[in-house]
Structure 1
Amino acid sequence: MTDTLRNPILAGFNPDPSICRVGEEYYIATSTFEWYPGVQIHHSRDLSNWRLVCRPLARANQLDMRGNPDSCGIWAPCLSYADGLFWLIYTDMKRYEGNFKDGHNYLVTAPAIEGPWSDPVYLNSSGFDPSLFHDEDGRKWLVNLKWDYRQLAGGDRFGGILLQEYDVEHRRLVGPIHNVFAGTEMKLTEGPHLYQRDGWYHLLVAEGGTGYDHAVTMARSREITGPYAVHPDNPVLTTRNDTQNPLQRAGHADLVDTPEGETYMVHLCSRPLPGTRRSPLGRETAIQRVVWSEDGWLRLAQGGNAPALEISMPGVTQRVPATEERYGFEPGGLPADFQWLRTPHPERLFSLNERPGYLRLYGRESVGSWFEQALVARRQDSWHCSAETELEFEPDDIQQFAGLIAYYNRFKFHYLAVTLNDSGDKVLSVMSCHDEWPSGQLDIAVAGVGLEPGRPVHLGLDIGEGKLQFRFAQGDTGWQPVGPLLNAGLLSDEGSGRAHGYFTGNFLGMAAHDISGRARPADFAGFCYLRHA
């Protein structure tokens, strides 16, 4: 036993954690944004070792994100357990840039974490980050931030935390809407959760935005409707003034009690590449031990307000991730680690049955499409890693291409693709895009590496020290590098120069595009992901 837990507990893109306990079982729900199916739920028995158990939003009537812009979709789910049911609250964000945000909040329930999950109940659209609180008297309350589209003082459009009762019998919100908390001088008050303890209602919120000024604030009141007094040592958790902490952007938290009465806080964080403020792994989930002080306020067990990279957890041995993950493609569903983008109709994008042992992708719209894009990928969860696949693809037009991709969003990707040149020869092309419109033009770094038609080709990539190198092999030849050394740090939240303009993380996977509209298929024989020390 190591008796020590090392953060993060959910590596790679797993932001906005919401945690609940049922008996001795723990569950964490995290945001998935435009990746389908929606919401990741991990399970643990020791708070240290976690396993993905389901993505509950998997039907069109629960979630359809076609047309949702980058970093929209599922924002900040809240998972709770009461009355013999799991309750999952989520936002489907349809627009977030500019003055307006169009986000719709829903509720689904299930008798077991694996489902079946119900059809959604529409709640409201007044703002995002909704959370459901189950009061000791049996009443249920929804809290979410209020979005104010006007330009308020200091540029803050976060208009306070709203509270309204939820009627279980009639499946709707009822009664007056209370604005219970205006936030602190850190502004950008979001991510609310309510807890009840020793006669107090404790309100936990995220403040400062999800960039490098992110923080956790707490306040409390004797009445659920307020007024709420702010924690005397606010913020409770942050790295806003701690640039050397390996867990940056700490904030957006939730609390859970163990059966023994200990309390833990899960929170998002990011691990920038050394010497940079670029986080290609995205926002991850970490955990901290917290204590309730004699004055009734919550504080970090280690003191101060900085997150710890390692925490003491007696009796626990934290598993080390496998060095190599090999995936086969058998009839049925995708391997659990893989997702696709936006659409609830994956049969138009891929098939595992058409050619058993292969993942067949049907070329659809262009790389970065917000509607139908045949791209199947898994999270990058290590700074130093590799990915490999074997592709069979015979394009008959320059508008058809398929291959191995490192994808953050429509303006940030590196793509090693099989296509044709103007002479009709089968070639490899390296396509890169690393900035947003209007400067985000597609760079075609190399478009002349010839391939033998009618034969599979092995495609690979290696990421390390913030750089990415593609490679390929065909026939009896060994691996050969192709294209220039690319900047992997650009495939990050901050890669376009914006402090926190996007909210996901880098994915590595397989893609097929046919912008002629003829849905040219591409067959992939397995996928391998390797983590390097």
Structure 2
Amino acid sequence: MTQFRNPILPGFNPDPSIVRVGEDFFLATSTFEWFPGVQIHHSRDLVHWRLVGRPLSRATQLDMRGDPDSCGVWAPDLSYAHGRFWLVYTDVKRYGQTTVSGADGASLRDFHNYVVVADSIDGPWSDPVRVNSSGFDPALFHDDDGRSWLLNMLWDHRPGHRRFAGIVVQEMDRETRQLVGERRLIFTGTDRGFTEGPHLYKRDGFYHLLVAEGGTGWDHAVVMARARALFGPYAVHPDGAVLSGNGRQDGAITRAGHGDLIELADGTPWLAYLCGRPLPGRARCVLGRETAIQPMRWCDDGWLRTLDGSGAPDPSPPLPSLPPSPWPGPTDDGRFDGPKLPTAFQWLRTPEPDRLFSLSARPGWLRLFGRETIGSHFEQALVARRQTAFRFTATTRLDIRPAQYQQAAGLTCYYNSTKFHYLHVTADDAGRRVLALLSADPETGCSGDVVATDLPEGAIELRAAVDHAALRFAWRGDGEVQWHPVGGTLDASVLSDEVTVPGLPNFTGAFVGMACQDLSGAGGHADFAWFSYVEELAPNG
């Protein structure tokens, strides 16, 4: 084999930041409203990766209760300098626009940027220091003179002004982790607009600035500029975009942008970047923004380009000149008989998971405590994992005894509070258990129906089978062999960035998992014996 297949991190894994430390590569990606914050993966060959940590795991580091959908942790930047790891990230608290007069109204958003450090990639990671709130996508540049600098995009909220106002840089005192000196605007971007995601590198006497432009959709791009001095002036790459899908809404890899560079020990440059894989024949990326990587080359004119010079993302790049280093396969068997939640799972927003679930209340089971609605931005008991292929089957065994209709638990295919399909056990007005299906769809609205009555006593199994845009739910009683389909064929493609309520951000991806609600406030619980996720690989995933 001389090639490998992109993406290297399938499913919702956007905004990659990559660093090489000796023979090890570490890559951080955004997690938005999912807790714990930031995913860090480890590789020794750039092809095989494993999740090694989510560093923002304590209430002192991150609390996203109230953060809107697709807000929370944006674009972490991971670096290694002066004997330690540095991680900077944004916690977005508000996204909405306040219109003063038509389309040119003020856009009032809240972005808080923090830095944490650790001596080892495994942690422990420090409590955060807030460095600024002037925009998002912070990144650290450690210059060869021993000084460190923070870059971020600058947000201009004023009516009539360009929101993405450029890239600013300011020195950071490494001891206090506070910014010092004057903030300088060093790059205002190109005509593509939406200048964000800055990273800075030094090579052959030039400061090379890499940014994302064009928005995070089909026109997303990696753009570069360079200067002899840190503060500029910066000359833009003569080819325009270094990498872009150039508006393509089909194909194996598109939506390419928001990249970060590393060099192998032999000097070969590689670019990690986010991408999207639309459903065949439909311009919808249910797997969200994923991470791909490909080799690049420094040309005689000192500019970076793709190997073929086309600037196109490569779905099947050549293997790096590194020894193959596959990791052992996953050990999770779908059961909840350990002291910790299996690593594939996350929950939403809160740093207090003990209020959402327990692995000890009923040994061998995951107990979810019913909290707020499945649309809550504050405290809801939803434990889920990423969808990482176009075809999969998820099943779970559920034990719940709801006393009334405000109590429910079940299996959900979920994107955010406005887009989900939820098969759940609840009670009717007489207190009898029933099976109901609730769907939130920005295109058709919200619908809910009872799909099965006279459920048997005891635990039942629920199943979600997804084949590209088709989702089919089913259930069966304990000990039954036959599955009972319910709800017909649902549209799984609405669980994508491209289907949205106007004005809301959509930057994550589809998840599948378990949820529990008790809208009476009593905190009634549901128990899950196991959760199985099995991918069915086929062409296009």
**1:163 partnered with 2:162:** no
**Could you tell me whether the CA contact under 8 Å between 2:251 and 2:278 is conserved in 1?**
no
The CA distance in 1 between the partners of 2:301 and 2:387, in whole Å, is: 43
Residue 405 of structure 1: aligned partner? 412
Output aligned runs, 1:163-312, within 5 Å.
163-312=169-318
1:428 counterpart SS class: strand
**1:48 partnered with 2:23:** no
1:56 counterpart SS class: coil
Shift of 1:150: 2.5
The CA distance in 1 between the partners of 2:32 and 2:267, in whole Å, is: 34
**1:91 partnered with 2:95:** no
State the Cα deviation string for residues 43-90 of structure 1 (Å, max 9, x = none): 000000000000000011100000000000000000000111000000
What residue identity is the alignment partner of 1:63?
Answer: L
Residue 441 of structure 2: aligned partner? 434
Residue 465 of structure 2: aligned partner? 462
The CA distance in 1 between the partners of 2:186 and 2:174, in whole Å, is: 22
1:347 counterpart SS class: helix
Output aligned runs, 1:386-405, within 5 Å.
386-405=393-412
2:523 counterpart SS class: coil
Residue 489 of structure 2: aligned partner? 485
Residue 473 of structure 1: aligned partner? 476
The CA distance in 2 between the partners of 1:433 and 1:497, in whole Å, is: 11
The CA distance in 2 between the partners of 1:321 and 1:312, in whole Å, is: 23
If the length of structure 1 is used for normalisation, what is the TM-score?
0.96
What residue identity is the alignment partner of 2:122?
Answer: E
Residue 528 of structure 1: aligned partner? 532
Residue 357 of structure 2: aligned partner? 350
**Could you tell me whether the CA contact under 8 Å between 2:402 and 2:431 is conserved in 1?**
no
Residue 101 of structure 2: aligned partner? none
Using a 3 Å threshold, how does the CA distance of structure 1 residues 69 and 500 change in structure 2: closer, same or farther?
closer
**Could you tell me whether the CA contact under 8 Å between 2:45 and 2:325 is conserved in 1?**
no
- Select 2:139's aligned residue among 121, 126, 131: 131
The CA distance in 2 between the partners of 1:114 and 1:320, in whole Å, is: 17
Identity of aligned residues (%): 55
Larger CA deviation: 443-452 vs 320-329: 320-329
The CA distance in 1 between the partners of 2:41 and 2:330, in whole Å, is: 21
Using a 3 Å threshold, how does the CA distance of structure 1 residues 119 and 323 change in structure 2: closer, same or farther?
closer
**Could you tell me whether the CA contact under 8 Å between 2:15 and 2:75 is conserved in 1?**
yes
Using a 3 Å threshold, how does the CA distance of structure 1 residues 243 and 409 change in structure 2: closer, same or farther?
closer
Shift of 1:475: 3.1
The CA distance in 1 between the partners of 2:60 and 2:493, in whole Å, is: 37
| Structure 2 unpaired stretches of 5+ | 98-106
Shift of 1:322: 7.3
**Could you tell me whether the CA contact under 8 Å between 1:130 and 1:143 is conserved in 2?**
yes
Residue 147 of structure 1: aligned partner? 155
What residue identity is the alignment partner of 1:5?
Answer: F
Residue 504 of structure 1: aligned partner? 508
Residue 417 of structure 1: aligned partner? 424
**Could you tell me whether the CA contact under 8 Å between 2:29 and 2:38 is conserved in 1?**
yes
The CA distance in 2 between the partners of 1:230 and 1:221, in whole Å, is: 9
Shift of 1:242: 3.7
2:238 counterpart SS class: coil
State how many pairs are aligned: 526
Using a 3 Å threshold, how does the CA distance of structure 1 residues 318 and 13 change in structure 2: closer, same or farther?
farther
What residue identity is the alignment partner of 1:22?
Answer: V
The CA distance in 2 between the partners of 1:248 and 1:54, in whole Å, is: 28
1:326 counterpart SS class: coil
Using a 3 Å threshold, how does the CA distance of structure 1 residues 162 and 315 change in structure 2: closer, same or farther?
closer
Residue 74 of structure 1: aligned partner? 73
State the Cα deviation string for residues 302-335 of structure 1 (Å, max 9, x = none): 2211101001115666969979973211242111
The CA distance in 2 between the partners of 1:257 and 1:500, in whole Å, is: 37
The CA distance in 2 between the partners of 1:374 and 1:500, in whole Å, is: 23
What residue identity is the alignment partner of 1:117?
Answer: W
Shift of 1:166: 0.2
State the Cα deviation string for residues 253-297 of structure 1 (Å, max 9, x = none): 000011121110000001111111111110000001101001110
Larger CA deviation: 505-514 vs 478-487: 478-487
**Could you tell me whether the CA contact under 8 Å between 1:3 and 1:317 is conserved in 2?**
no
| Structure 1 unpaired stretches of 5+ | none
**Could you tell me whether the CA contact under 8 Å between 1:231 and 1:297 is conserved in 2?**
yes
Residue 520 of structure 2: aligned partner? 516
**Could you tell me whether the CA contact under 8 Å between 2:67 and 2:94 is conserved in 1?**
yes
Shift of 1:240: 1.9
Residue 371 of structure 1: aligned partner? 378
The CA distance in 2 between the partners of 1:248 and 1:334, in whole Å, is: 34
The CA distance in 2 between the partners of 1:245 and 1:206, in whole Å, is: 21
Using a 3 Å threshold, how does the CA distance of structure 1 residues 232 and 288 change in structure 2: closer, same or farther?
same
Output aligned runs, 1:114-129, within 5 Å.
114-129=122-137
The CA distance in 1 between the partners of 2:155 and 2:506, in whole Å, is: 19
**1:336 partnered with 2:343:** yes
**Could you tell me whether the CA contact under 8 Å between 2:434 and 2:454 is conserved in 1?**
yes
**Could you tell me whether the CA contact under 8 Å between 1:432 and 1:445 is conserved in 2?**
no
Residue 103 of structure 2: aligned partner? none
The CA distance in 1 between the partners of 2:375 and 2:248, in whole Å, is: 36
The CA distance in 2 between the partners of 1:251 and 1:152, in whole Å, is: 27
Using a 3 Å threshold, how does the CA distance of structure 1 residues 279 and 19 change in structure 2: closer, same or farther?
same
2:493 counterpart SS class: helix
Q: List, as ranges, runs of 4+ consecutive aligned residues in structure 1 with deviation greater than 4 Å.
A: 314-325, 497-500
Shift of 1:484: 1.9
1:76 counterpart SS class: strand
The CA distance in 2 between the partners of 1:333 and 1:103, in whole Å, is: 32
Using a 3 Å threshold, how does the CA distance of structure 1 residues 500 and 191 change in structure 2: closer, same or farther?
farther
The CA distance in 1 between the partners of 2:19 and 2:370, in whole Å, is: 40
Using a 3 Å threshold, how does the CA distance of structure 1 residues 315 and 198 change in structure 2: closer, same or farther?
closer
**Could you tell me whether the CA contact under 8 Å between 1:390 and 1:524 is conserved in 2?**
yes
Shift of 1:172: 0.6
The CA distance in 2 between the partners of 1:175 and 1:234, in whole Å, is: 33
**Could you tell me whether the CA contact under 8 Å between 1:415 and 1:430 is conserved in 2?**
yes
What residue identity is the alignment partner of 1:452?
Answer: P
Residue 25 of structure 1: aligned partner? 24
Using a 3 Å threshold, how does the CA distance of structure 1 residues 500 and 14 change in structure 2: closer, same or farther?
farther
Shift of 1:241: 3.9
